[in-house]
């Protein structure tokens, strides 16, 4: 554990849902494949008391029975992935930053550089 930041349960967020910019970098959000995926082989919501559901102020996650699902993937704030290192089971997976850069390059070829418009 040495050198590794310890994240605390007090970081949970119980406020209203926050809406993410839907044109990050001036590009259409729904064409950017940036959102978490859950490794259900590792995920254990009972052990963490559904930490990611309460942590994410964009309300990307939702309880579904005794599981957690990625309910609103395109409300994930590009390029945030702050939930991932806080998952106590290491079950939250994001694309790599290199993959995100590749996607943005391709979208810029298609759409050009537009001013950010949330």
State in angstroms the smallest separation of the CB of 15 from ligand SF4.
18
Residue 99: Cβ within 10 Å count: 12
**CA of residue 116 relative to chain centroid, distance:** 20
Q: Which of 48, 45, 52 shows the shortest CA–CA distance to 12?
A: 52
Of 23 and 80, nearer to ligand SF4 (C-beta) is 80
Of 37 and 102, nearer to ligand SF4 (C-beta) is 37
Structure tokens at 109: 């070829």
State in angstroms the smallest separation of the CB of 54 from ligand SF4.
9
Q: Which residues bind ligand SF4 (CB under 6 A)?
A: 38, 43-45, 48, 50-52, 68, 87, 89, 91-92
């Amino acid at each position: 554990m040495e050198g590794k930041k310890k994240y605390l349960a007090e970081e949970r967020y119980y406020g209203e849902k926050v809406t993410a910019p839907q044109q990050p970098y001036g590009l259409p959000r729904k064409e950017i494949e940036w959102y978490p995926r859950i490794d259900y082989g590792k995920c254990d919501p009972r052990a963490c008391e559904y930490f990611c559901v309460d942590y994410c102020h964009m309300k990307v996650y939702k309880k579904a029975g005794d599981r957690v699902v990625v309910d609103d993937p395109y409300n994930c704030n590009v390029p945030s992935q702050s939930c991932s290192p806080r998952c106590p089971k290491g079950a939250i997976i994001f694309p790599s930053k290199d993959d995100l850069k590749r996607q943005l390059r391709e979208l810029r070829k298609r759409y050009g550089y537009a001013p950010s418009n949330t």
